[in-house]
Structure 1
Amino acid sequence: MRKYLFAFALFIYALSLKAQTAPVKWATQETFFEDLTGKKLPDFKGKTIKALPFTSKSLKDQIVLINFWFEKCPPCIKEMPILNQLVSKYGGKGIRFIAITNDPVLNARKFQQKAGYQYEVVCLTQAEISNLNINHGFPTNVLVGQDGKIIYATANFSLSDELPEVKAKTILFEEKLKAEITKAKK
């Protein structure tokens, strides 16, 4: 029994040494998203709510606003009217509004019809969303420039929240969107 306890203690000690030497890449969401800024949007494939194939390659040379959401996410649902306002405000300016969900196609279609969500809905599995490694909770909003690089991202709060910190991030998000539209016109 003593041998097992000693071996177990040695194993735990070895793990603690490894944990202490492992670098911490993303201490916060902000550092996670700062690291994403300037990187290419990863390739992905999914299905639209009409069960048609969708590929991120179809977003080439376009400004894209991507919203990660799912049907049972209250903050995701809460921000949809604000996201619809962005579609109304900027939809005619060459922006693609893509909503990525892990909900099944049929559920996502029914939800969009019921809720009036105006984004193009694309369904991926949870594993496919995780493999993208660009969302850090739900909802996540990612702004991608015409060059295919990530400009800005936010997560884990609703763009409709009234908290001053959230309002500031929402304003910054829209300012970056406006700047990218202006840049694209040149």
Structure 2
Amino acid sequence: MRRTRLLAPLLAAALLLTGCTEAGPQAGVADPGYIPGTDGGTVSQFKDPDTAPVVFSGKTTDGSAFASKQYAGKVLVVNFWYAGCPPCRAEAATLNSLSERYAKQGVQFVGVNVSDDAPTAAAFERTYKTPYPSIVDQEGGAAVQLAFTASKPPKAVPSTLVLDGDGRVVARIIGLANKSVLNTLIEDAVDGTAR
């Protein structure tokens, strides 16, 4: 019994340090674009992605429709999150700042809430002053999460993926997004799309 009480805080600390990720078998696989994240996130960059474009759509927290096809030719940054996830709250300011920084260059950010209902997700957006929409994926049968199964482990939250103008995943951060690292990944995607 005493051993269980001692292990519980250690397990909780380990979970906090790794984010809210239940990474699965893909997470430990190193790839040529692996860059160790400074905030504990795993960063991968794919200079020549051979994956098919990811096409997705869903309803946002206010009931509006969001479709990735609307942003063809533009860089899209997709962040998977939920309100009760401490690293998701910690990275909100980073995502907000970069969203505002790149808005003039046509980069679109979109959140994908993986477990909350629309009112809970909307409350998070109000609290953290999120300037971009979030799709409530749980209510729609997790269709957006299914669209990204080739690009990220199924339960890896938070995760942030950068899509090029063709809709292909060119970079991903599994875990807490570091502002400097994500900024570089977005810059590279914008430069690649401009060519």
Give the TM-score normalised by structure 2: 0.67
1:135 to 143, 147, 152: 152
Aligned residue number for residue 97 of structure 1: 109
- In structure 2, give the amino acid aligned to 1:121: S
Which has the larger Rg?
Answer: 1
- Is contact 1:67-1:140 (8 Å) kept? yes
Percent of pairs identical after alignment?
A: 20
Aligned residues, how many? 152
CA distance in 1, matches of 2:106, 2:135: 19
- Is contact 2:57-2:144 (8 Å) kept? no
How far has the Cα of 1:34 moved from its partner? 7.0
* Equivalent residue runs for 1:72-111 within 5 Å: 72-102=84-114, 103-111=116-124
Pairwise CA RMSD of aligned residues? 2.7
Secondary structure in 1 aligned to 2:26?
A: coil
- Is contact 2:60-2:135 (8 Å) kept? yes
- Normalized per residue, the structure richer in helix is 1
Aligned residue number for residue 19 of structure 1: none
Unaligned segments of structure 1, at least 5 residues:
1-24, 161-169
The structure, 1 or 2, with the larger RCO (C-alpha pairs under 8 Å, 6+ apart) is 2
Deviations 1:46-77 (A, max 9, x none): 11121122222223221001100000100011
Aligned residue number for residue 159 of structure 1: 177
CA distance in 1, matches of 2:93, 2:146: 28
CA distance in 2, matches of 1:174, 1:96: 14
- In structure 2, give the amino acid aligned to 1:179: D
CA distance in 2, matches of 1:34, 1:180: 10
Aligned residue number for residue 179 of structure 1: 188
Aligned residue number for residue 12 of structure 2: none
Aligned residue number for residue 132 of structure 2: 119
Unaligned segments of structure 2, at least 5 residues:
1-24, 35-43
Give the TM-score normalised by structure 1: 0.70
- Is contact 1:47-1:105 (8 Å) kept? no
CA distance in 1, matches of 2:30, 2:132: 25
Q: 1:37 to 1:78 in 2, by over 3 A?
A: farther
Q: 1:108 to 1:84 in 2, by over 3 A?
A: same
- Is contact 1:41-1:148 (8 Å) kept? yes
CA distance in 2, matches of 1:179, 1:78: 24
Aligned residue number for residue 167 of structure 2: 148
